[in-house]
Amino acid sequence: MGQEGIKREFGSIEEAFEALPQLEREHCVRVADYAEIIFLQACAADIYPEDVKVRVRLKSEQSSIVADAARYMNIGKALVPELYHQLGSDFAPEEVALYRKHTTDGAKLAESLLMQNLSNPTELNIIMEAIGSHHELWGGKGFPTGAAESEIPIIGRIVALADALDHVASQKHSEKPLEYALEQISKDSGTRYDPVLVTLVMDLKAKLKRAFTKYIHQSRSIPVTVPLVRRRASRPFSLWYRPIVETKRNKTKAFEAEMRFKGKETAGLSYTEVEHIVKREGLLFDLGVYFVTELCDTVKRMDACGIHAAYIALAPPNGWLSRRGLPKEIASVLEDTQTQAKRLCIEVTAGMWASRTKTMQENLQKIAAMGCPVMFSGFGINAISAGDLKENGATMLRLSRDTGPKLADKQTTEYLAGLASDGIVLLADGIEKKSHQATFGRNKIAFATGVLIGDWQNEDSIIECELALLDS
């Protein structure tokens, strides 16, 4: 296809970019961010000082055009059917050639669309170099020309690294996709990628991590722990989550987890009915331990995504806390998953407390002594004393949903002030009215949960939501 034929396809380079499939456009946007970070580091490091071609290109004031160049790296794919956008293992030689043409045709397309709009020829050259050479390999086995080492334009080398970084990091290879991608790039240093640039990239982990987190909800590359996910998929149970928010700053402090049941057999049953089945079938203890394991997995996923969570509070199945030997089982799960005890909070509901046993109270004390926070939840005014809370290892009390209208009462204020002075952290639940929220501060209520703050969501949804909040 000649240059004039290419030019007639699109009216502008943005039009060509918009013609790419959505996932391809998202990939290119992320690559642009990575490429700009690497480029600026290369400028600051003054690499290859004796190479005139490199020195001409590595000027920090050109960082935005380098980002644009990376963003447009695959516009040549807009000229061919989507079938040929990715290299297929079963492609015939002519199909491989058609796929590879996205570099040369893309460079021609960029030239035809930009030569009248860019007054600075350097900017056009940077874009064409990125598009035309980002598939060349340091060892000389890339395409379209098979150029090697210094023969490859420095911009092409940088975009190639950024392209590979996002390609690997956006796949679910491990718990830490970005770290995995960096490891893979390091292995190919000197064969696929410029070794000097690879060394620079390894020192950019923090900046690249911020870019990775910025787009992670878009690429869906939420870190997972594969063995636990496989176990989860075969179970009719799962955990759903909602945030616990610090009221003064409106910032997520922690999360709480609630058991949910899925599948045809349990979809129409109430929580109480399913809990009865669990007890009848003798699944109570195993189910509780399983949920602790799943919660530890979620903690790791949130850490890998850069989502702050001081702890996740779990309300276990009723009766689970009365099992003998429970603290040792919890300690074993924490050790196996390498999760700090302070990240697992045990929630004791008013219903659990009403049917408490001596074993349950002893277990709570031992669990608290291990370093796990204990939260008592759903209690009304004067329903439990600070002494009872402390005796059973609790450091937090969440008030019942009907407390809101009483927050202005003198008796309520004195009760809450007394708890706060004894070191009990107070939380509110379901208090959505502004008039209630306005009284949080003077009633020593530091944290809250509720629909306005964030409703219950499954694990993937809550992580995506929190990442979106981080972006904003």
Give the CATH number for residue 457: 3.20.20.450
Query: What is 70-134 written as a DSSP string?
Result: HHTTTGGGGGS-GGGSS--TT--HHHHHHHHHHHHHHHHHHHHHHTTT-S-HHHHHHHHHHHHHT
Say whether both 148 and 232 belong to one domain: no
In 3D space, the residue among 263, 271, 242 whose CA is nearest the CA of residue 254 turns out to be 242
Cβ within 8 Å of residue 418, ≥6 positions away: 386
Of 206 and 318, which is predicted with more confidence?
206
Q: Mean of the pLDDT values across residues 248-270? A: 74
Give the per-residue pLDDT at 11: 86
Query: Is pLDDT of 408 > 50?
Result: yes
Say whether both 172 and 268 belong to one domain: no
| Residue 12: exposure state from Cβ atoms within 10 A (0-12, 13-18, ≥19) | exposed
Tell me the pLDDT band of 176, cut-offs 50, 70 and 90. confident
Which of 52-60's residues contact partners 24+ apart within 8 Å by CB, and which partners? Answer: 53/150, 53/153, 53/154, 54/154, 57/126, 57/153, 57/154, 57/155, 58/154
- Element holding 256 (H helix, E strand): strand 251-261
Give the per-residue pLDDT at 48: 95
Domain boundary residue among 192, 219, 246? 219
What's the number of domains the chain is made of?
2
Tell me the pLDDT band of 8, cut-offs 50, 70 and 90. very low
Q: Mean of the pLDDT values across residues 238-248? A: 88
Range of the domain at 12: 3-219
Q: Mean of the pLDDT values across residues 393-415? A: 87
Say whether both 260 and 369 belong to one domain: yes
Say whether both 59 and 135 belong to one domain: yes
CB 130 within 8 A of CB 74: no
Domain boundary residue among 219, 250, 285? 219
What percent of the chain shows pLDDT beyond 90?
Answer: 57
Query: Is pLDDT of 4 > 50?
Result: no
Q: Return d(Cα 194, Cα 151) in angstroms, integer.
A: 11
Q: Return d(Cα 392, Cα 375) in angstroms, integer.
A: 10
Q: What is the CATH number of the domain that holds 37?
A: 1.10.3210.10
Q: Return d(Cα 192, Cα 140) in angstroms, integer.
A: 8
Q: How far is CA 117 from CA 9, 17, 63, 67, 128, in A?
A: 17, 16, 19, 17, 14
Q: Return d(Cα 170, Cα 27) in angstroms, integer.
A: 9
Average pLDDT, the chain: 87
Say whether both 152 and 247 belong to one domain: no
What percent of the chain shows pLDDT beyond 70?
Answer: 86
Pull the structure tokens for residue 265. Answer: 């057999």
Give the per-residue pLDDT at 213: 79
Query: Is pLDDT of 14 > 80?
Result: yes
Give the per-residue pLDDT at 238: 79
Query: Is pLDDT of 188 > 80?
Result: yes
Give the per-residue pLDDT at 359: 96
Say whether both 283 and 394 belong to one domain: yes
Tell me the pLDDT band of 440, cut-offs 50, 70 and 90. confident
Q: Mean of the pLDDT values across residues 111-134? A: 90
Query: Is pLDDT of 304 > 90?
Result: no
Tally Cβ neighbours within 10 Å of residue 375.
24
Of 434 and 442, which is predicted with more confidence?
442
Tell me the pLDDT band of 7, cut-offs 50, 70 and 90. very low
In 3D space, the residue among 413, 419, 414 whose CA is nearest the CA of residue 398 turns out to be 419
Pull the structure tokens for residue 115. Answer: 């030569």
Tell me the pLDDT band of 318, cut-offs 50, 70 and 90. confident
| pLDDT per residue as tens digits for the range 96-108 | 999 999 999 999 9
Domain boundary residue among 161, 186, 219? 219
Tell me the pLDDT band of 3, cut-offs 50, 70 and 90. very low
Of 370 and 269, which is predicted with more confidence?
370
Say whether both 444 and 461 belong to one domain: yes
Query: Is pLDDT of 452 > 50?
Result: yes
Say whether both 30 and 94 belong to one domain: yes
Q: Return d(Cα 202, Cα 179) in angstroms, integer.
A: 10
Least confident among 143-147, 155-159, 336-340, 369-373: 336-340
Q: Mean of the pLDDT values across residues 325-333? A: 93
Tally Cβ neighbours within 10 Å of residue 376.
27
Question: What pTM was estimated for this model as a whole?
Answer: 0.60
Say whether both 15 and 160 belong to one domain: yes
Say whether both 326 and 197 belong to one domain: no
Say whether both 258 and 210 belong to one domain: no
Say whether both 174 and 262 belong to one domain: no
Query: Is pLDDT of 264 > 50?
Result: no
Cβ within 8 Å of residue 410, ≥6 positions away: none
